[in-house]
């Protein structure tokens, strides 16, 4: 399949898809391709809108017999589309690709905006279930996501009908922290082991945060959050559990996403009474729904929040907003290229799922130091 696939995108991720295609074109296994144009077809989808608001998607180049990787994002995106229009464009694009006789349709959604709508109760719809069922019924044969909100969500896709890969992305954040804030084994073994701690946003995030703590051999702090489930994005109280004193430590709050910033704001206020040296955030997804920016900016201005490290699974403009001087964005295009390379070459994804260990990573860096 390696010689007969293309990368395309809806309007929401065309620049990102082009970057991924460019990276993939430099891989040795793909160097035999005639040209990058044989892979990069991001401009091959044309959206036509009718006067009443309806749309159609037209395929401008032949997709017959090809495996098509289509990138899409329904959250904040480079085209400025709202969630519903972005989803609708993806659905139309899959239908158009199916009509154009594409052999395989691989939907690549780094951030799934409806990921938290995953609780099937008696009288509520389940947004993630609806989304996945729509993708599969329209013809998606493979769905790739980054760091879904819960592991149970992976069971929503029938493997007999569609292949599903949820790729862990915390390794990108761990490597970034190593590269920028640790840099060598001495710092890891002295400063990090003795003066850092990793804190979950709630009890549900304990497993994810434990992996961070294990990766850096640092203490774990657990925040037990009590929510008011009659209201969305509402926190009633937070209790902090830690086996070691927090005072004077550098704390890293770990989460899969920062949405409105309410949980982070409440947690930071709860942590202040323990007198940490500084507080940072490391999160994969950053939808930053209102009033997240206002909350995070206020915490930063009061010097209660030092760093915010997130990935680019949701769109950020090239220049850092003035109210986010402490925002650090970790690129994910290289990881996306690796994922696609493994998929189209039918290679195992085990290397991407491998647990990260900071000591091993920094030791390998030392091998290449002068």
Q: Are 162 and 193 in the same domain?
A: no
Question: Is the domain of 134 the same as that of 237?
Answer: no
Range of weakest confidence among 58-62, 99-103, 107-111, 321-325:
321-325
324 and 206 in one domain?
yes
How far is 361 from 349, CA to CA, in rounded Å?
Answer: 19
CA 1 to chain centre: 26
In our burial notation (b when 16+ CB lie closer than 10 A, e otherwise), range 281-297 reads bbbbbbbbbeebbebbb
Domain containing residue 89: 5-168+334-349
In angstroms, rounded to a whole number, what is the distance separating the alpha carbons of residues 97 and 66?
Answer: 10
Q: What mean pLDDT is predicted for residues 303-325? A: 88
What's the structural domain count of the chain?
Answer: 2
pLDDT of residue 36: 45
CATH of the domain at 86: 3.40.50.2020
Average pLDDT over residues 299-305: 95
What is the rounded CA–CA span in Å between residue 264 and residue 192? 22
Q: How far apart are the first and last CA of the chain?
A: 41
Domain identity same for 43 and 150: yes
User: Do residues 283 and 176 share a domain?
Assistant: yes
Strands 250-257 and 196-200: parallel
> Is the domain of 323 the same as that of 340?
no
63-72, 95-104, 144-153, 173-182: least confident range: 144-153
Element (DSSP H or E) covering residue 50: none
- The answer to whether residue 367 is domain-embedded is no
Residues 129 and 175 in one domain: no
């Amino acid at each position: 399949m390696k010689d007969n696939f293309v990368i395309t995108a809806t309007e929401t991720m065309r620049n990102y898809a082009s970057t991924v295609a460019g990276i993939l074109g430099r891989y040795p296994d793909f160097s035999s391709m005639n040209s990058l144009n044989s892979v990069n077809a991001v401009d091959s989808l044309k959206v036509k809108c009718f006067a009443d608001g309806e749309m159609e998607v037209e395929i401008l180049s032949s997709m017959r017999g090809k495996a098509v990787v289509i990138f899409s994002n329904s959250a904040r995106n480079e085209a400025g589309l709202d969630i519903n229009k972005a989803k609708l464009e993806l659905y139309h694009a899959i239908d158009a690709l199916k009509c154009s006789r594409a052999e395989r349709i691989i939907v690549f959604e780094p951030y799934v905006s409806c990921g938290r709508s995953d609780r099937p109760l008696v009288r509520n719809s389940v947004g993630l279930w609806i989304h996945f069922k729509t993708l599969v019924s329209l013809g998606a044969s493979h769905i790739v996501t980054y760091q879904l909100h819960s592991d149970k969500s992976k069971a929503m896709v029938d493997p007999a009908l569609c292949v599903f890969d949820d790729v862990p992305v915390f390794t990108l954040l761990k490597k970034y922290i190593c590269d920028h804030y640790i840099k060598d084994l001495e710092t890891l073994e002295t400063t990090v082991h003795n003066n850092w701690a990793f804190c979950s946003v709630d009890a549900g995030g304990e497993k994810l945060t434990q992996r961070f703590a294990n990766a850096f051999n640092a203490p774990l702090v657990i925040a037990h959050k009590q929510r008011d489930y009659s209201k969305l994005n509402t926190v009633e109280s937070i209790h902090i559990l830690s086996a070691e004193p927090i005072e004077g430590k550098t704390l890293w709050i770990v989460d899969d996403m920062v949405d409105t910033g309410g949980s982070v704001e409440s947690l930071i206020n709860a942590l202040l009474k323990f007198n940490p040296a500084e507080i940072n955030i490391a999160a994969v997804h950053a939808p930053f729904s209102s009033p997240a920016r206002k909350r995070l900016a206020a915490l930063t201005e009061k010097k209660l929040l030092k760093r915010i490290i997130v990935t680019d699974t949701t769109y950020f403009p090239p220049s850092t907003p003035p109210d986010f001087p402490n925002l650090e964005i970790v690129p994910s295009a290289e990881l996306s290229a690796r994922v696609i390379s493994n998929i189209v070459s039918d290679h195992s994804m085990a290397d991407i799922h491998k647990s990260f260990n900071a000591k091993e990573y920094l030791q390998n860096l030392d091998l290449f130091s002068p």
